[in-house]
């Protein structure tokens, strides 16, 4: 049990030290301005070659080009900044200033309207085109933006945060078998409010988890947790709430200097994190500007990071650690070795950067593949995972949205007396074991 608690804590820390909207219609945005389409102009669509075709006149005029149509050759012509691009219908090429350029799909006429392959044409003018898959949006940027530089600057700022509040929502959905073996949809929407101080590290977490099966809410789990790290180790205080709002508290103290080092967020550690971020950033795409509810301009970026960053982090931890002298230290090393061997592949986030401050204010991520990979790779830690559980992991859907608030201005907090005075979980288990006729499973020994 202690292993499970520890592993889940590390998974959450991994996520937060580094919700998707799906649309049926395709949106075109030029320099963050949405192009208006209607029945007369036509609407964008994706052709059989998986390429986006857009109404010729509406899109190119919004882009700032002059447009014309050569009826004799069935060719659309767009002119901008001394560049002339000709797009012949049903031909797998376009012509830029007299030079033919091969393309992998063709313009076509549908219901009397001309549709052209947007990426090939816009790139011929020297502008940038990105596809925002989560919003079904083609993003056209007239003057290319150095998205990677913007992201790295924001990431570097976040590495120097002293404290902040985090409001997060994690939406999980999976299919679970009922008593008859039939699969039923189960949804859990985890809402978390966190306050984090970095050096020394301490955190406060409030969690609400309503559990819904077949659209019927079965229960809502409430939890309040505190975590404090010092030179000797760390302590977690956990309170489970009931429907009346009363919490039952227990605490767990881990006296382990190695674990204390893992959870250390001093200037040296933050500088190292900054170096690793720059090393493992693979690609950053600018997906346009959006206005939030308070009127602030937010730059939407898609950031791809190599999962090898975690291998290097945990390999370095292993190199710094002495040989284990007790069972507790051996367990820590075993867990870190398992994390170091994970192949997470590339990890993709959506991040929002404040247009004025350059701070990262929001992030979104599909966590399903990460969670499934990590949990399925934990057999050495957690023991063999039943096939039924692996099947549920494979159809797991997990989306996270997190908002960073009150950066360097978070309100300090005190751990409540009832949490400080709570019994150690090992004491609770010992009292439970003394009850007549009750035997704890062998796994409970790990909590001692």
Residue 427 has pLDDT above 60, yes or no: no
Alpha helix positions (H), 267-421: 267-280, 308-320, 327-340, 368-376, 379-382, 387-394, 417-420
| Mean pLDDT, range 274-297, rounded to an integer | 92
Residue 256 pLDDT class (50, 70, 90 cuts):
low
Give the best-scoring range by mean pLDDT among 210-219, 327-336, 371-380, 425-434.
327-336
Residue 7 pLDDT class (50, 70, 90 cuts):
very low
pLDDT-wise least confident of 122-126, 127-131, 222-226: 222-226
| Mean pLDDT, range 106-112, rounded to an integer | 91
- Percentage of the residues of the chain whose pLDDT score is greater than 90: 44
| Mean pLDDT, range 270-280, rounded to an integer | 83
Same CATH fold assignment for domains 36-127 and 149-424? no
pLDDT-wise least confident of 286-290, 315-319, 414-418: 315-319
Residue 102 has pLDDT above 80, yes or no: yes
pLDDT value of position 443? 45
Mean pLDDT for the chain overall: 80
Strands 27-30 and 137-141: parallel
Pick the CATH number of 149-424 from 2.120.10.30, 3.40.470.10, 3.40.50.720, 2.50.20.20: 2.50.20.20
pLDDT value of position 73? 93
Residue 266 pLDDT class (50, 70, 90 cuts):
low
| Mean pLDDT, range 422-448, rounded to an integer | 53
pLDDT value of position 137? 95
Q: With left for phi above 0 and alpha for psi between -120 and 50, is residue 299 left, alpha or beta?
A: beta
432-442 pLDDT, tens per residue?
444 444 454 45
Tell the residue number behind the tokens 């049903």, with chain if given.
Answer: 90
Alpha helix positions (H), 81-237: 118-124, 147-159
pLDDT value of position 371? 66
- Regarding predicted confidence, which is higher, 446 or 148? 148
Residue 31 has pLDDT above 90, yes or no: yes
Domain ranges across the chain: 36-127, 149-424
- Taking the domain 36-127, which CATH number applies? 3.30.457.10
Residue 265 pLDDT class (50, 70, 90 cuts):
low
pLDDT value of position 323? 74
Give burial (CB, 10 Å; 0-12/13-18/19+) of 11. middle
146-199 pLDDT, tens per residue?
999 999 999 999 988 999 999 999 887 777 666 666 766 777 788 899 999 988
Residue 19 pLDDT class (50, 70, 90 cuts):
very low
316-375 pLDDT, tens per residue?
767 766 677 777 667 767 777 776 676 778 888 899 999 999 999 999 988 776 666 666
CA distance 148 to 142: 17
pLDDT value of position 259? 60
- Regarding predicted confidence, which is higher, 18 or 356? 356
Strand partners, 319: none
φ and ψ at 246, to 5 degrees?
-80, 140
| Mean pLDDT, range 95-112, rounded to an integer | 93
The end-to-end CA distance of the chain, in Å, is: 10
pLDDT-wise least confident of 72-76, 87-91, 344-348, 371-375: 371-375
CA distance 403 to 396: 23
pLDDT value of position 209? 75
pLDDT value of position 20? 29
């Amino acid at each position: 049990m202690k292993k499970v608690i520890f592993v889940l804590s590390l998974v959450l820390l991994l996520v937060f030290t580094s919700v998707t909207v799906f649309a049926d219609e395709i949106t075109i945005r030029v320099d963050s301005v949405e192009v208006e389409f209607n029945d007369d102009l036509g609407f964008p669509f994706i052709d059989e070659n998986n390429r986006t075709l857009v109404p010729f006149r509406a899109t190119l005029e919004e882009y700032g080009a002059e447009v014309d149509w050569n009826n004799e050759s069935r060719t659309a012509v767009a002119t901008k900044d001394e560049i002339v691009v000709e797009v012949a219908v049903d031909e797998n090429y376009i012509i830029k200033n007299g030079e033919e350029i091969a393309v992998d799909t063709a313009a076509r006429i549908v219901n009397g309207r001309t549709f052209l392959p947007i990426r090939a044409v816009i790139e011929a003018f020297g502008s940038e085109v990105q596809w925002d898959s989560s919003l079904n949006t083609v993003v056209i940027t007239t003057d290319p933006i150095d998205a990677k530089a913007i992201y790295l600057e924001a990431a570097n700022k976040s590495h120097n945060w002293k404290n902040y509040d985090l409001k997060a929502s994690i939406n999980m959905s999976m299919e679970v078998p009922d008593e008859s073996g039939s699969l039923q949809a189960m949804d859990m929407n985890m809402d978390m409010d966190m306050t984090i101080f970095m050096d020394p590290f301490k955190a406060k977490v409030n969690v609400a988890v309503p559990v819904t099966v077949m659209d019927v809410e079965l229960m809502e789990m409430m939890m309040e947790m505190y975590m404090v790290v010092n030179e000797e180790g760390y302590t977690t205080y956990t309170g489970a709430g009931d429907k009346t709002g009363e919490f039952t508290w227990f605490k767990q103290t881990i006296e382990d200097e190695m674990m204390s080092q893992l959870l250390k967020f001093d200037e040296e550690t933050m500088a190292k994190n900054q170096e690793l971020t720059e090393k493992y950033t693979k690609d950053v795409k600018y997906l346009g500007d959006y206005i939030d509810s308070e009127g602030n301009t937010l730059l939407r970026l898609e950031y791809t990071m190599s999962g090898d960053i975690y291998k290097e982090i945990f390999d370095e931890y292993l190199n710094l650690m002495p040989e284990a002298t007790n069972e507790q230290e051996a367990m820590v090393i075993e867990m870190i070795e398992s994390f170091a061997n994970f192949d997470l592949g590339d990890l993709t986030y959506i991040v929002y950067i404040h247009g004025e401050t350059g701070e990262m204010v929001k992030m979104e991520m599909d966590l399903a593949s990460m969670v499934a990979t990590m949990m399925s790779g934990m057999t050495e830690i957690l023991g063999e995972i039943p096939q039924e559980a692996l099947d549920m992991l494979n159809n797991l859907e997990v989306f996270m949205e997190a908002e960073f608030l009150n950066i360097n201005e978070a309100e300090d907090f005190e751990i409540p007396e009832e949490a400080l005075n709570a019994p150690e979980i090992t004491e609770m288990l010992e009292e439970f074991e003394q009850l007549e006729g009750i035997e704890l499973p062998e796994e409970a020994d790990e909590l001692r």
